[in-house]
């Protein structure tokens, strides 16, 4: 038990040191702009189709499943607003973040892990190039920017999925659907939910990079780095979500 606690404390210490290094390096020039843009493309754009499909299905399914209950209470008119609210406040951020944890965090963990094992990170270091700045800072900044953007896309596509779901059983025009949503939605529903995705993105990148960068020697550790990046990032997403809901609660109830 003592050894287990000691191990946890040492991991927390390592992660803290890793995060401090990130904040130190992020403000120091030179900035690897090209690599940052490349990572935004690789991490963000390439995850888009998956996020789009999931967002659409979530909107459609949520509408179809909520409809019978609302019809029973004679509240079918509330359906667009309710679906949009669920999507924007919780479903789209969480689903997108979990997809990104699976696709991006594991990808970064495996990539950096294999670079570590094949001494590519050491090669960078001996050529007097800071591998932390080139590999970690660019990827963490890219995920911090791209995950919120993906969530906004997932919100929009999910809402469209809801519209398609509405039209299976009844007929509603897109204008009426959107205006019903806008009547229900307030900025306070959208802004905190989007701000929390910045944290999702930051931790997805950070955990993937930490796991890859600290992979042990041997090819087995590459798989371990990728696997534990997904597990830890997914857990981190739920913990951040739980903290975020407390803050949102404080703001809305004050």
Partner 1 sequence: MITPNANIDNRDSSPNVINIEGLYKSFGAGNDVLKGVNLHVKKGENLVLLGKSGSGKSITIKCLVGLVVADEGVLTVFDEDIAKLDAVQLNKARLRMGFLFQNAALYDSMTVRENLEFPLKRHSKELSPKEINKTVEEALNDVGLLASIDKMPSELSGGMRKRIGLARTLILKPEIILYDEPTTGLDPITSREISELILSIQKKNKTTSVIITHDMACAKLTADRLAILRDGTIYKEGSYEELESSKDEWIHSFFV
How many Cα neighbours within 13 Å face the side chain of 234? 12
Nearest residue to 137 via CA among 29, 233, 46: 29
- State the Cα–Cα distance between residues 139 and 80, nearest whole angstrom: 37
By C-beta, is 123 or 235 nearer to partner 1?
Answer: 123
Nearest residue to 55 via CA among 176, 192, 162, 194: 162
129 scored as a contact of partner 1 (CB under 8 A): yes
Stretch that binds partner 1, among 88-96, 100-108, 113-121, 242-250 (CB under 8 A): 113-121
Residue appearing with tokens 């931790």: 203
Determine the number of helices (DSSP H) and then strands (DSSP E) in the chain: 12, 0
3 scored as a contact of partner 1 (CB under 8 A): no
122 scored as a contact of partner 1 (CB under 8 A): yes
127 scored as a contact of partner 1 (CB under 8 A): yes
- State the Cα–Cα distance between residues 237 and 248, nearest whole angstrom: 16
Stretch that binds partner 1, among 3-11, 87-95, 123-131, 199-207 (CB under 8 A): 123-131
By C-beta, is 22 or 202 nearer to partner 1?
Answer: 22
Q: Which of 86, 96, 114, 228 binds partner 1 (CB under 8 A)?
A: 114
Report the Cα 6 to chain-centroid distance in Å. 30
Q: Which of 12, 20, 123, 216 binds partner 1 (CB under 8 A)?
A: 123
Stretch that binds partner 1, among 116-124, 154-162, 184-192, 229-237 (CB under 8 A): 116-124
Binding site for partner 1 (CB under 8 A): 30, 111, 114-115, 118-120, 122-129
């Amino acid at each position: 038990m003592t050894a287990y606690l000691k191990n946890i404390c040492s991991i927390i210490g390592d992660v803290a040191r890793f995060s401090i290094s990130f904040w130190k390096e992020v403000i120091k020039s030179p900035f690897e702009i090209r690599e940052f843009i490349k990572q935004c493309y690789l991490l963000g754009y390439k995850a888009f189709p998956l996020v789009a499909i999931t967002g659409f299905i979530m909107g459609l399914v949520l509408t179809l499943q909520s409809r019978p209950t609302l019809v029973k209470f004679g509240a079918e008119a509330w359906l667009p607003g309710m679906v949009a609210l669920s999507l924007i406040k919780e479903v789209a951020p969480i689903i997108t973040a979990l997809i990104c944890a699976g696709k991006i965090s594991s990808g970064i963990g495996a990539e950096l892990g294999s670079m570590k094992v094949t001494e590519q990170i050491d090669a960078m270091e001996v050529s007097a190039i800071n591998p932390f700045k080139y590999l970690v800072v660019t990827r963490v900044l890219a995920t911090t920017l791209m995950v919120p953007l993906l969530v906004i896309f997932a919100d929009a596509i999910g809402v469209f999925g809801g519209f398609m779901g509405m039209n299976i059983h009844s007929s509603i025009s897109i204008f009426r659907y959107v205006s019903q949503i806008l009547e229900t939605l307030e900025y306070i529903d959208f802004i905190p939910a989007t701000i929390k995705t910045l944290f999702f993105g930051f931790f997805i990148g950070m955990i993937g990079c930490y796991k890859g960068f600290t992979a042990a020697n041997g090819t087995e550790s590459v798989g371990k780095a990728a696997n534990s990046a997904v597990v830890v990032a997914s857990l981190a997403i739920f913990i951040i979500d739980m903290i975020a809901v407390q803050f949102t609660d404080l703001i809305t109830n004050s």
